[in-house]
């Protein structure tokens, strides 16, 4: 049995901490000496391009996925993140490596068909958009996310590499959790998000705000944790997926073929659950409960899963603000429910008016703010103009072609994960695939009331999940020992 213990976790922790702690220093240097921005990006890119192995660069990018909003450079309506530079470097190196080895090929799977169709739907909707520059920005973002998904899915083709990636994500989860909890108790974030506006005299903005205040129906003031410049819903979505992955990996660790550091995983899991409670996200509560119950039905570790589920249920009952928000989910007039319903209804009307190619990707927030009814529901939505449903958003903006492609992708993605888990029962990768399957289900489920489809952490987790699918398929296609002996004789 191979060993993948605390040493690797410690090294990954130090690498990520060093990169994160460089952000405030870089912001100060850019503010004082703007030319240092170009020098830093050049030095950073050169090190990643020519010195570090491509596997190490991919692992760094995976670990930075939930931290992508900590450093944002704005150029007009476009904004760029450090992680996007990372993935551009990774993709260039992968292409060069594939050309040198003459090994560039798409894995044989149907998942690429709906992704291609979704890109085409986004392209068509961009051409008819009333503000094509905004739609072009959304199209580029979509292509970038799919390239990231492909790169991750085709890079982690061994169980040890996949386990390393999960460990790096666990370290990133710990960092997100600690920063979020510190924000709650300090009242401000200990780590600022750096926003640089290149067209506004290199204007530097350090955002320390990481706590959202909101009022419940009963008049209770609720602190909703969010971390590393992610919204509370995005933070909850990331933590929900990671809780599922870490929980099922922890309780099935004997099956993966590697010794993991259980103490470290338990610490991350406990802190993540605590932070998850403080996000007070209704969609995250429902998603985690539903997926843990599904885990009870399909997992061999039913007793542990049931105990964990009961613990979470008691936590929701004890924490009054969390329980109050959960009750609001089932009351149409409560909280932001009227606003959400109105937004869904408007998205449906826009879809009916433009059923084929929609109104243009990214156009719903632009169009909806012009309508009188929107002004009347701002009391409920705090001025929100997002659909809060990725499927309705896609239907309104990209028509039936985009909606069909999104449903097609979700179906193939979850089906491939489920089939891989069924094939891998009793094998080394079954525990990881189970966690990824439930995490992917949580992601799809939360997209019914939110929009986490366009977040880097979502496609990073989904890319690792599909890497497990491709690895499982390759292992199944390998000839057995008896077949190899017969061929030799």
CA pair distance 134, 143, nearest whole angstrom: 15
* 40 has pLDDT over 80: no
CA pair distance 63, 45, nearest whole angstrom: 17
276 within a domain of the structure (yes/no): yes
394 within a domain of the structure (yes/no): yes
pLDDT in tens, 219-260: 555 677 888 888 888 999 999 999 999 988 887 655 444 556
At residue 157 the predicted structure's pLDDT band, cuts being 50, 70 and 90, is confident
485 within a domain of the structure (yes/no): no
CA pair distance 82, 165, nearest whole angstrom: 19
101 within a domain of the structure (yes/no): no
Residue 354 sits at φ, ψ, to 5 deg, of -130, 70
pLDDT in tens, 446-478: 998 888 898 999 999 999 999 999 888 776 665
* 405 has pLDDT over 70: yes
68 within a domain of the structure (yes/no): no
80 within a domain of the structure (yes/no): no
DSSP letter for each residue of 115-137? HHHHHHHHHHHHHT-SSHHHHHH
First to last CA, the chain: 31
Most confident of 53-62, 108-117, 422-431: 108-117
- Domain with 251 in it: 107-191+210-480
Residue 386 sits at φ, ψ, to 5 deg, of -90, 150
- How high is the pLDDT of residue 21? 55
- How high is the pLDDT of residue 286? 87
Pair 273, 312: CB distance under 8 Å:
yes
* 2 has pLDDT over 50: no
DSSP letter for each residue of 155-191? T--SHHHHHHHHHHHHHHHHHHHHHHHHHHHHSS-SS
142 within a domain of the structure (yes/no): yes
In 3D space, the residue among 46, 73, 69, 48 whose CA is nearest the CA of residue 59 turns out to be 48
What average pLDDT score do residues 294-318 get?
A: 76
196 within a domain of the structure (yes/no): no
Q: Spell out the residues 6+ positions from residue 23 whose beta carbon is closer than 8 angstroms to its own.
A: 70, 71, 191, 192, 194
Give the helix, strand, coil percentages of the chain, each rounded to 5: 70, 5, 25
Q: How far is CA 431 from CA 255, 287, 299, 310, in A?
A: 7, 20, 9, 22
- How high is the pLDDT of residue 413? 95
Question: 16-30, 54-68, 253-267: which has the minimum mean pLDDT?
Answer: 16-30
> How many domains are there within the chain?
1
* 485 has pLDDT over 70: no
Residue 336 sits at φ, ψ, to 5 deg, of -95, 10
What average pLDDT score do residues 156-165 get?
A: 83
Work out the mean pLDDT of the chain and round it to a whole number: 77
């Amino acid at each position: 049995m191979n060993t993948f213990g605390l040493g690797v976790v410690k090294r990954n922790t130090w690498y990520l901490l060093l990169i994160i702690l460089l952000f405030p220093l870089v912001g100060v240097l850019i503010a004082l000496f703007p030319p240092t921005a170009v020098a830093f990006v050049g030095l950073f890119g050169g090190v990643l391009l020519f010195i570090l192995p491509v596997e190490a660069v991919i692992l760094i990018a995976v670990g930075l996925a939930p931290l992508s909003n900590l450093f944002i450079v704005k150029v007009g309506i476009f904004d760029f993140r450090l992680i996007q530079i990372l993935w551009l470097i990774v993709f260039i190196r992968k292409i060069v490596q594939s050309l040198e080895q003459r090994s560039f090929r798409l894995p044989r799977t149907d998942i690429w068909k709906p992704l291609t169709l979704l890109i085409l739907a986004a392209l068509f909707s961009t051409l008819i958009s009333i503000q094509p520059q905004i739609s072009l920005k959304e199209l580029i973002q979509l292509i970038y996310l799919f390239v990231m998904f492909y790169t991750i899915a085709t890079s982690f083709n061994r169980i040890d590499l996949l386990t390393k990636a999960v460990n790096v994500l666990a370290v990133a989860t710990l960092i997100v959790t600690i920063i979020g909890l510190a924000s709650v108790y300090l009242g401000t974030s200990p780590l600022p998000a750096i926003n640089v506006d290149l067209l506004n005299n290199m204007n530097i903005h350090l955002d320390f705000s990481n706590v959202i205040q909101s009022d419940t129906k009963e008049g209770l003031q609720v602190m909703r944790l969010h971390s590393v410049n992610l919204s509370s819903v995005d933070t909850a979505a990331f933590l929900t997926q990671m809780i599922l992955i870490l929980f099922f990996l922890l309780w099935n660790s004997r099956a993966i073929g590697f010794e993991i550091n259980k103490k470290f995983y338990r610490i991350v899991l406990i802190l993540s659950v605590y932070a998850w409670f403080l996000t007070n996200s209704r969609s995250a509560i429902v998603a985690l409960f539903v997926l843990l119950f599904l885990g009870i039905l399909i997992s061999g570790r039913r007793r542990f899963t049931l105990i964990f589920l009961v613990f979470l249920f008691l936590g929701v009952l004890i924490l009054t603000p969390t329980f109050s928000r959960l009750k609001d989910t089932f009351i149409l007039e409560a909280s932001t429910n009227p606003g959400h319903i109105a937004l869904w209804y408007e998205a449906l009307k826009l879809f009916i008016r433009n059923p084929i190619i929609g109104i243009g990707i990214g156009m719903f927030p632009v169009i909806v703010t012009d309508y009188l009814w929107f002004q009347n529901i701002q009391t409920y939505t705090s001025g929100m103009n997002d659909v809060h449903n990725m499927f309705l958003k896609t239907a309104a903006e990209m028509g039936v072609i985009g909606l069909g492609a999104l449903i097609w992708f979700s179906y193939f993605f979850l089906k491939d994960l489920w089939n891989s888990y069924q094939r891998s029962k009793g094998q080394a990768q079954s525990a990881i695939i189970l966690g990824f399957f439930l995490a992917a289900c949580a992601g799809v489920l939360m997209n019914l009331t939110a929009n986490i489809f366009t977040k880097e952490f979502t496609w990073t987790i989904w890319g690792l999940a599909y890497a497990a699918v491709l690895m499982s398929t390759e292992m199944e296609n390998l000839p057995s020992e008896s077949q190899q002996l017969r061929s030799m004789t």
